[in-house]
Structure 1
Amino acid sequence: MSHHVPQKVLFKHCDPAGIVFYPRYFEMINDAMEDWFAGPLGAPWEVFHKTNACPSVEINVTFMAVSRHGDQLDLRVQVEKLGRSSVTVLVDAYCGDQQRFAARVTLVCIRSDTTRPEPWPDEIRTQMERFSG
């Protein structure tokens, strides 16, 4: 199961040639992760981050095709691997049938007061399991 996040490519995402400037994809990936936590995981970051945090410890992205101003992207979020205190998430972006990028993001759950790895809270872990491939 995948969580879908629609993303229209806006003027602010583009360089002077009218294509997405690659750092803006990282913002889109982060927005998709935040939407996933707030929606199906039931853990909006503004609440979750009061006691915990989930920093990205690794991000790998492969870019397959350019996206242009006005394109309608579908960012698909899916769990590749769920550990005790980490999760590796795949974020794939499509415009229609064409894949634009594939990202692999590893997040680690930490206590915000110690910055040490902490097991995912049971209610969040249960929801993440629903998105395992």
Structure 2
Amino acid sequence: MTFQASRRVRFAHCDPAAIVFFPRYFEMINSVVEDWFSDVIGLDFNRMHQQLGVGVPTASLQTDFTAPSRLGEVLVFSLTPQEVGRTSLQLIIEAHCAGELRLRNRSTLVYVDMTTGRPIAWPDDLRQQFTQLLED
């Protein structure tokens, strides 16, 4: 199952040439991941971090930037889970504008205990949700 979220390119995202400064894409990607966890998985980051004491830091990012994005454009991000491991989750995230691919990202998140910072196994309910999404 693919999750979609739109992000308008704001002045704060841009360099002096009025195109997205590449680190700002990673902030947008992270916001899409956060929305996916909240809207699709039903586990918002506040509850995850503050109440459950767990997190999903990014362990790996591989990104291809295929075309520039400009101030005022609306990017449509799509997030598709690819693979679930014992403690990790791999996602493919793409951004398009008017049908044109702007970036393709492969992110690996790791489920960690916030107290120790060490990876822990996904709980069965989350693993089942991820597996169902992979099958859909």
Report the TM-score, using the length of structure 1 for normalisation.
0.94
2:14 aligned with 1:23:
no
Give the Å deviation of 1:131. 3.3
Structure 2 gap segments, 5+ residues each: none
Root-mean-square deviation (CA, aligned residues, Å) is 1.3
Give the Å deviation of 1:94. 0.6
Counterpart residue type for residue 62 of structure 2: N
Report the TM-score, using the length of structure 2 for normalisation.
0.92
What is residue 117 of structure 1 aligned with on the other side?
119
Counterpart residue type for residue 104 of structure 1: R
Q: Which of 51, 73, 84 is the matching residue for 1:82?
A: 84
Give the Å deviation of 1:89. 0.6
Q: Where in structure 2 are the equivalents of 1:50-89 lying within 5 Å?
A: 50=50, 51-89=53-91
Q: Is the 8 A contact 1:55 1:108 kept in 2?
A: yes
Residue 5 of structure 1 aligns to a residue whose secondary structure is: strand
- Which deviations, in whole Å up to 9, do the C-alpha atoms of 1:11-59 show, x marking residues without a partner? 1111111110111001001111111111111110111113211111111
Residue 40 of structure 1 aligns to a residue whose secondary structure is: helix
- Which deviations, in whole Å up to 9, do the C-alpha atoms of 1:68-123 show, x marking residues without a partner? 01111110011111111100111100112110000111011011122221111223
The separation in 2 between residues aligned to 1:100 and 1:25, in whole angstroms, is: 10
What is residue 41 of structure 2 aligned with on the other side?
41
Aligned pairs, number: 133
2:4 aligned with 1:7:
no
Q: Percent identity?
A: 38
The separation in 1 between residues aligned to 2:19 and 2:48, in whole angstroms, is: 34
What is residue 126 of structure 1 aligned with on the other side?
128
